[in-house]
Chains A and B, each alone.
Chain A
Amino acid sequence: MPPSPASCRAGRLGVFIGVAILALGASPRAGHAQLAVVVNPGNTLADLSLDKLRRLFLGQAKTFPTGQHARLARHTPSAATFDRDALGLQPEIVRSRWMALIFRGEVTVVPTDLASADDVKQFVRSHPDAIAFMPAAQVDQSVKVLAIDGKRPGDSTYALR
Chain B
Amino acid sequence: MSEGLRRRLGAVSALVLAGAAPLAAQEHAMDEAPQTVIHGFTDVTYLTGGNNTGRTSAFGLGQFDLYITSRVADRLTFLGETVFEYDDASSEFVVDVERVIAQYALSDHFRIDAGKVHTPLGYWNNAYHHGTVMQPTIERPQLVQFEDDGGPLPIHTVGVQLSGRDLTEAHLGFDVLYGNPLGNRPASDDRNEAGSVAAAVHAQLTPALRVGVSGYRDRLVGGTETPSGTALDASMTQTIAGGFLAYFDQRAEAVVEGHDIMNRSAGRTTSSPNWFAYAGVRAGDRVVPYVEHEDMRLADDDPYFTSDRFRREILGVRYEQSASAVLKLELRSLDRRGTDRATEAALQLALAF
Contacts and interface: CB of A to CB of B under 8 A. Distances in A.
A95 B327 contact: no
Contacts of A4: none
Contacts of B85: none
A25 B207 contact: no
B286 interface: yes
A51 B209 CA distance: 12
Contact of A69 (B25, B206, B250): B25
B113, B206, B207 — most chain A CB neighbours (10 Å): B207
B220 to A, nearest CB: 28
A90 B250 contact: yes
Given A60-B166, A105-B113, A24 B77 contact: no
A94 to B, nearest CB: 9
Interface string A61-100: 1110001110100000000000000011110110110011
Contacts of A1: none
Interface in B232-267: 249-250
Contact of A60 (B25, B105, B204): B204
Contacts of B323: 92-93, 95-96, 99
Interface string B76-115: 0101000000000000000000000101010011000100
Contact of B127 (A24, A100, A108): A100
Given A102-B69, A104-B129, A109-B27, A92 B249 contact: no
Q: State the main secondary structure of chain B at its contact with A.
A: strand
Contacts of A105: 77, 79, 101, 103, 113
Contacts of B171: 55, 60-61
A55 B250 CA distance: 15
B349 A68 contact: no
A13 interface: yes
Interface stretch (A14-22, A137-145, A151-159): A14-22
A13 B48 contact: yes
B281 interface: no
Contacts of A51: 206-207
B14 interface: no
Given A69-B24, A90-B250, A92-B286, A17 B347 contact: yes
Interface size class on chain B is 35 or more
Interface in B122-179: 126-129, 131, 134, 165-166, 171
B71 interface: yes
B103 A62 contact: no
Contacts of A58: 207
A125 interface: no
Contacts of A129: 24-25
Interface string A98-121: 011011111011000000000000
A63 to B, nearest CB: 5
Interface string B41-73: 000001010000000010100000001010100
B57 A63 contact: no
Given A96-B134, A129-B24, A16 B347 contact: yes
Contact of B126 (A24, A54, A104): A104
Given A24-B327, A129-B25, 19 more contacts: A12-B46, A16-B347, A21-B327, A23-B325, A23-B349, A24-B321, A24-B325, A61-B171, A63-B166, A69-B24, A88-B249, A93-B320, A99-B352, A100-B127, A103-B131, A108-B71, A108-B77, A109-B28, A128-B25
